[in-house]
Amino acid sequence: MTIRSFNLVAKGPKWGMRHLQVLFLFICATLTVAQRFNMSVAIVAFTNANSSHPNFPEYRLTEQQKSYILSSPFWGSCCTQLMSGYLSSRFGAKILLLAIMFVTALLSIATPFVLAWGGWQLLFWVRIVQGLAMGGMWPGLYTHLAKWCPKMEANRLGGVMTTGLDCGTIIGFALSGALSASPLGWPSSFYVPGYLGIAWCLLFLRYGANCPSESRFISLAERKHIQLALEQNQVVRSEIPPVPWLQILTSRPFIVLAFCKMSQACSFYTLMQQIPRYIHGIFHYSIAVNALLSALPFVVMLMSSYGFIFLSDYLTRHRDISLPILRKTINSFATWTPAVSLVILSYLSDRNVVGSMCCLVAATAAISGQAIGSSLNHVDLSPNFAGLLFGISNTLMSAAGVISPIVIGLTVTNESDRTQWRSVFLGISVILFLGNLFYVIFGQMTVQSWNDSQSKKTSTEAIPKIEAPYKAPEEMLSFEKFNYL
């Protein structure tokens, strides 16, 4: 018997193994992202010893070589998104996440030796391999979360997990700057997250589990609570239909969504990778001050992420805001606000430090709303193939992470030339404006016909029509609204 009401699911313990699993996922995201973006600050330190600690090696790199190094992890992550989603859903996410963290941690520890032995060319290839491992992280995180997270707790626990991206960026910037300026020097900015990653692997190996039934430490009450909550989300249906590749790749709502996500990735990855270079080139601060200023926008972004989660939950549950209005309004704010901020930033004076930082803070804080605005739209279009849609669009976003620093490296040949940065910021603003404009006009939040067309046909032919039992309008409405998020 399928459970239809949340009231029939017994409440589990307030704190339990599911919260520990989410904490593991949060730390995994934080450390992995920190190991990806610590290079943005470290590359300033090891190419300019006077900006950090002068007692450590200095390497002379051109702007194009810096761009290749910064973009190299995204070259690898383009190739592993879909494979990770398949492997984690087939065999569980525990071993996959352990392998990802172990490989990225070892390569992070080896980075200073690689640079000393093989120069920037070998570092470029090592970072590509590191990107291959990192690319499988997000599909694995979502798969593991789905096994442990009851539907009613999805917004809160999932929101905590995804904020690991913001925390990882903050740590990648702030901690790297502090370590580079310390007596430990810039190599420690790679050693510290690497050794923390090894420690995470040891703890997750013991306390992590693919699902509640495999955990040795979970209580019986919590296991039943999660299993019953997950059971009531299962829909009685025939076999999942084969992947409709042609329909997906020619679906206008999905094409518009993918283009919107690519436009957002251009701004997001540009801000993540280029803020330390921009602050160093325009304002000429030391590495420690540079790192703190670079991390400031992402601190605000972390706080605004929770604000968007609570706001969307309130509007959906208590104000009866329709799903299309909610998605498009939040996504417009999260996309056009960075576009306007970057336009203003490009025309500010070199001496207006406060104004420049306010523009960067406004741009990054607004970006956090994209998770509610458009990222969840994959589930709206196709519940059966949401993971596949996410993998395709995330692959395209990773491609934007590859292209963005290369184009910027060709455009910004002098970090201190504000007119070159203006060209970059104005170009990104145009892409952001067009991406969201198409999304507002053509975006859809309804399940597409190719989601389960074959199963519908089979079930129509094989199963006689049975009248559904009556449900109170209030119950149907509350259940509908809950499924929005």
* Residue % of the chain over a pLDDT of 90: 17
HSE-up of 410 (CA within 13 Å, CB side)?
A: 4
Judge contact between 229 and 9, C-beta under 8 A.
yes
pLDDT level of residue 468 (50, 70, 90 thresholds): very low
In tens, the pLDDT along 368-377 reads: 777 667 776 7
* Residue % of the chain over a pLDDT of 70: 81
Domains 16-233 and 244-485 share a fold: yes
Dump strand ranges (E) for 259-348: none
Q: Which strand (E) or helix (H) includes residue 328? A: helix 323-346
In a 3-state reduction of DSSP, which class is residue 186?
coil
Q: Most distant CA pair in the chain: distance in Å?
A: 79
CA distances, 210 to each of 98, 103, 234, 259, 470 (Å) = 12, 20, 19, 34, 38
pLDDT at 485: 32
In a 3-state reduction of DSSP, which class is residue 322?
coil
SS3 content of the chain, % helix, strand, coil (to 5): 75, 0, 25
Q: Which residues contact 147 (CB under 8 A, 6 or more apart)?
A: 92, 93, 210, 211, 212, 230
pLDDT at 100: 92
pLDDT at 453: 54
Q: Does residue 379 register a pLDDT over 60?
A: yes
Report the candidate in 147, 25, 174 with the shortest Cα–Cα distance to residue 98: 25
Q: Does residue 161 register a pLDDT over 60?
A: yes
* Domain layout of the chain by residue ranges: 16-233, 244-485
Q: Does residue 306 register a pLDDT over 90?
A: no
Q: State the Cα–Cα distance between residues 41 and 291, nearest whole angstrom.
A: 7
Average pLDDT over residues 213-229: 81
Let me know if 50 is exposed, middle or buried by CB neighbors in 10 A (0-12, 13-18, 19+).
exposed
In tens, the pLDDT along 170-188 reads: 888 788 888 888 888 888 9
What is the residue whose two structure tokens read 């960075």? 338
Judge contact between 26 and 168, C-beta under 8 A.
no
Helix axes 323-346, 418-442, angle to 10 degrees: 160
DSSP alpha helices (H): ranges in 135-187? 137-148, 154-162, 164-181
Q: State the Cα–Cα distance between residues 121 and 115, nearest whole angstrom.
A: 8
> For residue 136, what are its two tokens?
């499988």
pLDDT level of residue 2 (50, 70, 90 thresholds): very low
pLDDT at 24: 93
Average predicted confidence (pLDDT) for the chain: 78
Judge contact between 302 and 288, C-beta under 8 A.
no
Q: Which residues contact 247 (CB under 8 A, 6 or more apart)?
A: 448, 449, 450
Judge contact between 132 and 80, C-beta under 8 A.
yes
Q: State the Cα–Cα distance between residues 159 and 288, nearest whole angstrom.
A: 30
Measured at the alpha carbon of residue 443, what is the angle toward residues 425 and 394, in degrees to the nearest 5? 60
pLDDT at 464: 46
| Lowest mean pLDDT across 8-17, 59-68, 291-300, 405-414 | 8-17
**What is the Rg, in whole angstroms, of the alpha carbon atoms belonging to the chain?**
23
Domain 244-485: give its CATH superfamily.
MFS general substrate transporter like domains (1.20.1250.20)
Q: Does residue 8 register a pLDDT over 60?
A: no
pLDDT at 381: 82
pLDDT level of residue 53 (50, 70, 90 thresholds): low
In tens, the pLDDT along 87-141 reads: 776 777 899 899 999 999 999 999 999 998 988 899 999 999 998 888 888 778 8
Average pLDDT over residues 130-156: 78
In tens, the pLDDT along 422-461 reads: 988 999 999 999 999 999 999 888 878 887 655 444 444 4
Q: State the Cα–Cα distance between residues 279 and 296, nearest whole angstrom.
A: 12
Average pLDDT over residues 284-300: 78
pTM over 0.75: no
CATH code of domain 16-233: 1.20.1250.20
Q: Does residue 476 register a pLDDT over 70?
A: no
Burial 289-326 (b: 16+ CB within 10 A, else e): bbbbbbbbbbbbbbebbeebbeebbebbeeeebebeeb
Judge contact between 77 and 401, C-beta under 8 A.
yes
Q: Would you give the distance in Å from CA 183 to the centre of its chain?
A: 33
Q: Does residue 9 register a pLDDT over 70?
A: no
Q: State the DSSP string of 206-248.
A: HH--SSGGG-SS--HHHHHHHHHHHHTT----SSPPPP-HHHH
